[in-house]
Amino acid sequence: MSGRKKTLLKVIILGDSGVGKTSLMQQFVNNKFSHQYKATIGADFLTKEISIDNNKQVTLQIWDTAGQERFQSLGVAFYRGADCCVLCFDVTNEKSLNNLSSWKDEFLVQSNVSNPQDFPFIIIGNKIDVDDSKKIPSLQKKLSNITSNQLGGLNYPVFETSAKDAINVEQAFEVVAKMALQQEELNDINGGVDDDYNDAINIHLESDNYGCAC
Amino acid sequence: MIDMSNVTGIAEGKSLTAMGNKDHVDHLKDEGDIPLRHHERTGSNQTNNYSVLDFYEMDSPNPGAERQFGNTPKRFDNDPVSEGETSGDVTDDEQEHEVPISPANISNNIPSQHSPKDRDDTDVPLQFDEELGFSSITGSEFDIYGFKKSSSYHGISREEYDKWFLEYHKYTQKNRKKWHLLMKNNGLSILDNNTPKRFPPRSNKVKKMIRKGLPPEWRGSAWFFYAGGYEKLNKHVGVYEQIVRDTKNIQNKDTEVIERDLNRTFPDNKYFNDLLRLKPQTTEYGKNEGETQIIKALRRVLVAFAHYQPHIGYCQSLNFLAGLLLLFMEEEKAFWLLVILTERIIPNVHSADLEGVHTDQGVLMLCIKEYIPSLWSVIGRNYDGEALGEDAVISKLPPASLVTSSWFMSIFVTVLPVETALRVWDILWYEGSKTIFRISLTICKLCFEHPEFQDIRSRSIGSSETEQIELYQFMQNYPKTLQDCNLLISSCYKKIGGYGFGSLSQDEINQCRHYISKQRSKLQNKQLLSANLSREERNSLISSSLPASNQEDYSDVYEFHKPIMSGVRWNRNLSTKMKRKFSKKN
């Protein structure tokens, strides 16, 4: 089905600052955890080859992003062509949970994906290793409220993980890879992401004789 | 004029409303900033650079007293920096200085300026004891700045570090002697091995020495001196303390992010992370009680900065900049250097819309296109291998900028190994923002030409996407391994055997910046205009608003080839150079 020689799947990790995006990526790709991660500036990415389903080899290219809101303006450059988006929150930080939908909206605006309605998102609640007393009270209820009210009632897969203790990280990314692969195949059927169309929205300059209008 | 009622209020320690305090500070800020425009221009001029220091050193009766400028307002008469300023400006300064600041009123631990050794705060590594520091460093797991030598991030082991350090230490020693000689030749004596407060005026010789690297223990002082820190401080005496007081218990969006970043700044540095020294890996991480002095100072500087520069607020990466400064100077100076950096050197890079990042990345991409065309042939394409249009750089940045934008935002801190980053900083504070472009180009070229990358490249034939991704990966990882500072610096500046990016002038960069930001704002206006139009309407609007220029004119802009384009003035020197180059090509 896919005309490409090598299946490269692009995954974007989004979420508030400090929820553990770097830790999740490091745990998944390098199987390690450190207390000494620095704040991410701009974006970092790592790749990992995995096999999914019937031994299909894919390369996951995982982009870890800066969590501060203003960095979203740099998003244009790397949201484009994404195959799956991971929305992260910290199970001890209610605000990060409440911000999930704005991360999703921002992603859809910036990436201009062709199928915003069924673009694959996955939700990860990280830091479940932390003491229960610090966790968001009645998390499940709040989470389902958010998915039904703010995330358009769409049933995105939800994983509760601990990047520190390597709980559920592997499982979550396996689902990420499957969803990303589906999206990639969908794009292939549709002839790929229509870059021209997307550019037109941002004013298509290339084809115009745009000169210096000073 | 300064509202004296507020000033007196502060002086008497009266409790002011938050509003009153803020007004006062804003006022001081304005007072300082208006004459500064005139002032700063002279400040970048070498001859005036140490004049303020004359003021500091000349008749200061005792160290630490220089804060109280008000006691000796007449000194300004002899201050050449004030020359050419209206007497009104000087008077305003004096009034600013007349605010008596009693040490008891200053709630923070700002150490006295002239006596770093007296600081009770033994946590902060301002001084590097040459003997002790260097001989004991080989036995330690930390480098002279308190960073862990072995780093999985930079892929270096302690043994490898020590091996490098042994050699580099010899270089530093030799260099230190040259610096001492240079100081002596300029009539600047260094008493008791103290850190000098003033440095030789700008000259080719000094520039060369700066590029060779400052002695580590002089860094803070020299950076501050050459960046015009004293002029800034002199204009804003007491302002920092006031802001710190005003912002002491402040809580907002910025402070929330700051709090989260404090412990994520240099977790691998013992001055920032007590756990490294005390009980490694046994205690629960991130607890506040173990907070070091420098973390507290970092919080104050960042919160004060966010308050002082509301259009920036707090931007992630400022933590790395302030953090590194704090390893070399006290917090008030770190604060003002941060202000100088964000106002003059890389304006708007940290602003809420990160517009400066877009601008500077656009400039960098154009520079790569111009100076490293072979690299551009890889990154100047979309993933399907089509070359990016001439204007793509302005409307949307190529993905390579994802890697390079952090180079600008954190000015290579955490991007390059510590000593290498410091060497770049030495040059930055002396030469300005062109340094970041020159070094970035050098790193890009080193990456591209690296045998390892060329090897990967030859194996990933066919797909432009794969090739680009391999390159980004390489560009992301390679700088971390650039422990050999002299390789980077000499590749950048050496005319023979190096890349010679040292000829990329500040003028050229400024013109390019100006051009890009102008084009971007036009583009944004059009986007706003056409936001509610249909696609056809939008397209017709675009084409109707365009002048009848042809594609050729447009590409000339980007190829740096022609001297005149609207809105951009190329200097004659550059245009001749380019003409020559162009004629050679044909």
We report the CATH number of the domain holding residue A65 as: 3.40.50.300
pLDDT for B223 beyond 90:
yes
pLDDT for B4 beyond 80:
no
Give the residue with greater pLDDT, B209 vs B584: B209
Q: Which among A47, A66, A70 has the least Cβ separation from residue B352?
A: A70
Q: In chain B, which residues have their Cβ closer than 8 Å to the Cβ of A47?
A: 469, 473
Distance CA B292, CA B301 (A): 14
pLDDT for B200 beyond 70:
yes
Mean pLDDT within B448-469 = 83
Residue A52 lies in a domain: yes
Give the residue with greater pLDDT, A28 vs A152: A28
Share of chain B above pLDDT 90, in %: 46
Q: Is B255 on the interface with A (CB under 8 A)?
A: no
Q: In chain B, which residues have their Cβ closer than 8 Å to the Cβ of A67?
A: 316
Mean pLDDT within B206-223 = 96
Q: What is the identity of the amino acid at B86?
A: T
A79 φ/ψ angles, rounded to the nearest 5 degrees: -70, -30
pLDDT band of B540, cuts 50, 70, 90: low
Nearest CA in chain A to B540: A208
pLDDT for B385 beyond 90:
no
B43 φ/ψ angles, rounded to the nearest 5 degrees: -65, -30
CA distance B329 to chain A (A): 22
Mean pLDDT within A189-196 = 53
Segments forming the whole domain that contains residue A78: 8-201
Nearest to B568 by CA among A214, A80, A103: A214
Tens-digit pLDDT profile for residues B241-266: 999 999 999 999 999 999 999 999 99
Nearest CA in chain B to A42: B406
pLDDT for A43 beyond 70:
yes
pLDDT, chain B, mean: 73
Q: Is B542 on the interface with A (CB under 8 A)?
A: yes
What are the domain boundaries of chain B?
507-585
- Element counts in chain A: helices (H) and strands (E): 7, 6
- pLDDT at residue B272 in the model: 94
Q: Is B539 on the interface with A (CB under 8 A)?
A: yes
Give the residue with greater pLDDT, B78 vs B297: B297
Share of chain A above pLDDT 70, in %: 84
CB neighbour list of residue A153: distance below 8 Å, 6 or more residues apart: A147
Terminal Cα distance for chain B, rounded? 62
Are B405 and A61 in contact (CB < 8 Å)?
no
Tens-digit pLDDT profile for residues B143-185: 999 999 988 777 889 999 999 999 999 999 999 999 999 999 9
CA distance B324 to chain A (A): 14
DSSP percent split of chain B into helix, strand, coil, nearest 5 = 65, 0, 35
- pLDDT at residue A79 in the model: 84
Q: In chain B, which residues have their Cβ closer than 8 Å to the Cβ of A212?
A: 519, 547, 549, 553-554, 557, 565-567
CB neighbour list of residue B449: distance below 8 Å, 6 or more residues apart: none
Residue A210 lies in a domain: no
Q: Are strands B564-565 and B568-569 parallel, antiparallel or unpaired?
A: antiparallel
Q: How many CB pairs under 8 A join A and B?
A: 153
Are B402 and A74 in contact (CB < 8 Å)?
yes
Q: Which among B463, B526, B554 has the least Cβ separation from residue A212?
A: B554
- Element counts in chain B: helices (H) and strands (E): 28, 2
Which tokens hold the place of B324? 């590194």
Give the residue with greater pLDDT, B253 vs B134: B253
Q: Coil, helix or strand for B348?
A: coil
Nearest CA in chain B to A65: B402
How many domains are there within chain A?
1
- pLDDT at residue B221 in the model: 96
Which tokens hold the place of B446? 């080193």
pLDDT band of B135, cuts 50, 70, 90: low
Q: At what angle do helices B253-262 and B318-326 cross, to 10 degrees?
A: 60
pLDDT band of B349, cuts 50, 70, 90: very high
**Mean pLDDT lowest among A9-13, A74-78, B182-186, B231-235:** A74-78
Mean pLDDT within A60-81 = 86
Q: Is B398 on the interface with A (CB under 8 A)?
A: yes
Tens-digit pLDDT profile for residues B83-129: 333 333 222 322 333 333 333 333 333 333 433 333 334 444 545 55
Are A17 and B546 in contact (CB < 8 Å)?
no
Which tokens hold the place of B576? 């001749």
Nearest CA in chain A to B530: A203
CB neighbour list of residue A66: distance below 8 Å, 6 or more residues apart: A17, A39, A40, A41, A42, A43, B316
